[in-house]
Amino acid sequence: MWMRKPPILSHPGPMPKLDRYLSSEIARAVLAALVVLCMVSLGGLVADLIGEMARGKLAPPLLLSQLGLRMVRYLPIILPLALLLGLLLALGRLYRDSEMYVLTAVGVGPGRLLRPVLLVALPVLAVIALSSLWLGPLADRTARAMVAEANRNLLAAGLEPGRFSVLGNGSVAYADALSPDGTRLQRVFLYRERDGRMDVVTARSGQLYRDRGARVLALEDGFRVEGPLAGAVLDYRLMRYRRSENVLQPGAEERPSEDPAFWPTTRLFRDASRAARAELHWRIAPPILSLAFVLLAVPLARSSPRQARYGAMLLAFLAYMVGVFLMMLGTQWIAEGRMPAALGLWWLLLPMLALGAVLYARDGRVARPWWRR
């Protein structure tokens, strides 16, 4: 009895190879987009940190650690864009080289394409959720604790024993010896200029502490000489003091300790305040919005071999900017009480997910002629 030979596509062998090929192409494109976006973001973060160092808000030894911690904090914003651009680059290249048309001819449609896309997208979505819900707030708390600890340490303030050092406010300081914890110093010399006058301070000992965000050096048992920088007027004053307090760096604008941005996510679930609800929805939104971008990327990448890919990328970048802007605006509305906390950001996330699902389901379908509709 003659039997029909089964089609090649029903064989289980070639399909995993196809999945590996497509997922590797998508993974390489997503990784390339992530590297470029991280380099751009690192440039902006380095500029911000150097500005904080110049204003005395950050000690120079903390530059690299603060850079890494802040990069973790921004991952929920960077990774969705990298995932979206990577999918568009990989799938657009397949359309440009006519590979997608060959796959469509052998029965690989948009529904079958979902498997290799999710092989790459699901781990990235997991990293986004982990960074947004746990790693980001943890990095924020760690960075804040490191800055607070450095503000109590003379070594982090830039003062080294046995050397003249320029501090954050332009003063020149010298200490003969420091305590092991970096908070006490012996035989101190301090020189500074302000309002056209010089100020020379010597002391037998000193201590560094924090007062309302300002770094203060308290000197004990010493002399102070004040006079003009230039001119023939002999207007000098000499005094002996028992204790003199000198502000090394002005107080930085510290975020309050009860700021929900520093709280763990579990604590946000238990708090019913508007600020906590806004922060909670801000952390939940990135992975869900990223899933909507994944579904939108597949139909946006469809193009003819001679069609340029940059139009779809520009449209995708515009969708990303609108989504992030509305997410920020909605979070602000919840914190200000202009939007019910129960509504949250679902008015944005659910329509985006529905739009992505509808466009993905309709991708590749041939429209019927108008006289048959």
309-324 pLDDT, tens per residue? 667 778 888 889 998 9
Q: Where residue 287 falls among pLDDT bands split at 50, 70, 90?
A: very high
Question: Which residues are CB-contacts of 41 (< 8 A; sequence separation ≥ 6)?
Answer: 71, 74, 78
Whether residue 355 lies inside any domain: the answer is yes
Higher pLDDT, 351 or 230: 351
Is 283 found in the same domain as 242? no
Is 237 found in the same domain as 272? no
Tokens 């192409």: give the residue.
25
Tokens 């100020």: give the residue.
199
Whether residue 73 lies inside any domain: the answer is yes
Cβ–Cβ < 8 Å for 352, 323: yes
The residue type of 118 is L
State the pLDDT at residue 2: 44
Handedness of CA 17, 22, 24, 25 (dihedral sign): positive
State the pLDDT at residue 3: 45
Whether residue 6 lies inside any domain: the answer is no
State the pLDDT at residue 123: 93
Q: Where residue 103 falls among pLDDT bands split at 50, 70, 90?
A: confident
Whether residue 55 lies inside any domain: the answer is yes
Distance CA 16, CA 269 (A): 42
Share of the chain above pLDDT 90, in %: 16
Is 261 found in the same domain as 128? yes
Q: Which of 215, 249, 283 is the last residue of a domain?
A: 249
The range of the structural domain enclosing residue 309 comes to: 12-150+257-366
Cβ–Cβ < 8 Å for 114, 17: no
Whether residue 84 lies inside any domain: the answer is yes
Q: Which of 232, 249, 266 is the last residue of a domain?
A: 249
Whether residue 221 lies inside any domain: the answer is yes
Whether residue 157 lies inside any domain: the answer is no
State the pLDDT at residue 213: 59
Is 276 found in the same domain as 233? no
Is 245 found in the same domain as 265? no
Q: Which of 199, 219, 249 is the last residue of a domain?
A: 249
Is 221 found in the same domain as 266? no
Is 354 found in the same domain as 277? yes
**Mean residue pLDDT across the chain:** 79
Distance CA 240, CA 298 (A): 77
Is 278 found in the same domain as 137? yes
Task: Please state the rounded mean pLDDT for residues 283-289.
Answer: 92
Tokens 């309050």: give the residue.
256
Token pair in block for residue 160: 């080294």
| Coil vs helix vs strand at 177 | strand
CB atoms within 10 A of CB 321: 11
In the chain, DSSP finds a helix count (H) and a strand count (E) of 11, 6
Whether residue 156 lies inside any domain: the answer is no
Distance CA 146, CA 211 (A): 17
Is 240 found in the same domain as 265? no
Is 38 found in the same domain as 143? yes
| pLDDT reading at 97 higher than 80 | no
Number of compact structural domains in the chain: 2
Is 31 found in the same domain as 108? yes
Distance CA 167, CA 53 (A): 11
Is 317 found in the same domain as 287? yes
Task: Please state the rounded mean pLDDT for residues 77-103.
Answer: 84
State the pLDDT at residue 7: 44
Task: Please state the rounded mean pLDDT for residues 152-166.
Answer: 65
Task: Please state the rounded mean pLDDT for residues 62-83.
Answer: 89
Q: Where residue 157 falls among pLDDT bands split at 50, 70, 90?
A: low
